[in-house]
């Protein structure tokens, strides 16, 4: 790994940061099955701090991701939300970029409180909104919770170099035609944050999920009609197509 001005490698600095922040507390460490989270988890393990490993079961991850987590991280605790994404969709509709109710219900509700330190694999380079954040943050919703992002300033190349040097197992979804796609993001299928191109790629890979989205879109359209607050779209297919085409806006 590259050396910093302190003549230390970036992974050494990350480990020291974890040790200094966590101390003797038990860190709540998140795992998504993506490249950033497997690096974050490895750094935590190397640091030797007390920790628990948690995966948020959204129900929207690819089967390959589920199998990878079960195989490589058998000690991981699975956090189950109070209701499924599909149940939430019947109340809230399909999530949009600025109205991602799903994140709050399926992910962000876990690990808060009790003076917790939550460690995740967030990186500044993933989006403009994340660039404005810091590697150590207080939780706005819960004063007893702080967040630590140990690879916050790492690049995509830094992440893959670490994975290769440490020979870490990683998600097979990063490969297409036998070649690794370094900048691919692994997460919820048809997340509103992915591009329209990526959404269409996922639709081709996971037709079973597309059928679920269409079935629940039809149910949501009918629920809105029964409430007396009908959508502009008349059918579930129209609603779903409108949503997919909105991915780049």
Q: What is the pLDDT of residues 143-165, one digit of tens each?
A: 778 899 999 999 999 999 999 99
Closest CA to 58 of 109, 124, 123: 109
CA–CA distance, 8 with 5 (Å, rounded to integer): 7
Helix (H, G, I), strand (E, B) or coil at 6: coil
Q: What order do you get walking across the sheet with 77-79 strand by strand?
A: 77-79, 51-56, 27-30, 117-119, 146-148, 136-138
Would you kindly state where each structural domain of the chain is located, as residue ranges? 10-173, 194-245
**pLDDT tens string 60-76:** 999 999 999 999 999 99
**pLDDT tens string 194-226:** 888 899 999 999 999 999 999 999 999 999 999
**pLDDT tens string 8-27:** 899 999 999 999 999 999 99
Helix (H, G, I), strand (E, B) or coil at 14: helix
Question: Is 10-173 a domain of CATH 3.40.50.620?
Answer: yes
Q: What is the pLDDT of residue 139?
A: 75
- Does 248 score more than 60 pLDDT? no
């Amino acid at each position: 790994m590259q050396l910093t001005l302190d003549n230390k490698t970036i992974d050494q600095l990350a480990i020291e940061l974890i040790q200094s922040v966590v101390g003797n507390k038990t860190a709540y460490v998140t795992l998504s099955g993506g490249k950033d989270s497997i690096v974050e988890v490895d750094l935590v393990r190397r640091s030797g701090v007390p920790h628990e490993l948690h995966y948020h079961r959204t129900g929207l991850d690819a089967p390959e991701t589920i199998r990878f987590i079960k195989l490589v991280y058998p000690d991981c605790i699975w956090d189950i939300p109070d209701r499924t994404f599909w149940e939430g969709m019947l109340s809230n509709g399909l999530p949009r970029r600025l109205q991602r109710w799903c994140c709050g219900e399926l992910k962000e509700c876990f690990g808060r409180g009790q003076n917790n330190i939550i460690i995740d694999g967030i990186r500044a380079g993933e989006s403009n909104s994340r660039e404005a954040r810091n590697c150590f943050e207080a939780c706005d919703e819960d004063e007893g919770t702080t967040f630590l992002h140990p690879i916050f300033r790492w690049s995509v190349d830094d992440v893959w170099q670490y994975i290769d040097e440490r020979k870490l197992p990683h998600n097979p979804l990063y490969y297409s035609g036998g070649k690794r796609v370094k900048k691919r993001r692994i997460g919820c299928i048809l997340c509103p944050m992915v591009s329209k191109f990526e959404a269409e790629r996922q639709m081709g890979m996971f037709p079973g999920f597309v059928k679920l989205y269409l079935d629940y879109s039809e149910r949501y359209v009918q629920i809105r009609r029964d409430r007396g607050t009908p959508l502009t779209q008349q059918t579930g297919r129209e609603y779903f197509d409108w949503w997919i085409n909105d991915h780049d806006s």
